[in-house]
Amino acid sequence: MNIHGIIPAMVTPFDATEELNETALCQLTNHLIAGGVHGLFPTGSQGEFYALAPDEKQRV
């Protein structure tokens, strides 16, 4: 695997009730892709991976 380019560690947006905010996540994903990134690193910026349930990880 040849990993190269810009691969941002994405924040995982949550709403006021600490549920995954899928709308905001889709907007962020589309914004990054439109900006020309080469890949995405979801759940990679604030340790969210450990806080998410398995179904939430799948949705992300």
Interval 11-30: pLDDT, tens: 999 999 999 999 999 999 99
pLDDT score of 46 more than 80: no
Domain ranges of the chain: 1-60
Residue 11: HSE in the Cβ half-sphere, 13 Å Cα cutoff: 8
Look up the pTM and report it: 0.84
Mean pLDDT of 19-44: 95
Non-local (6+) Cβ contacts of 58 within 8 A are none
**Distance (Å, whole) CA 31 – CA 12:** 14
Across the chain, how many H-helices and E-strands are there?
3, 0
Non-local (6+) Cβ contacts of 53 within 8 A are none
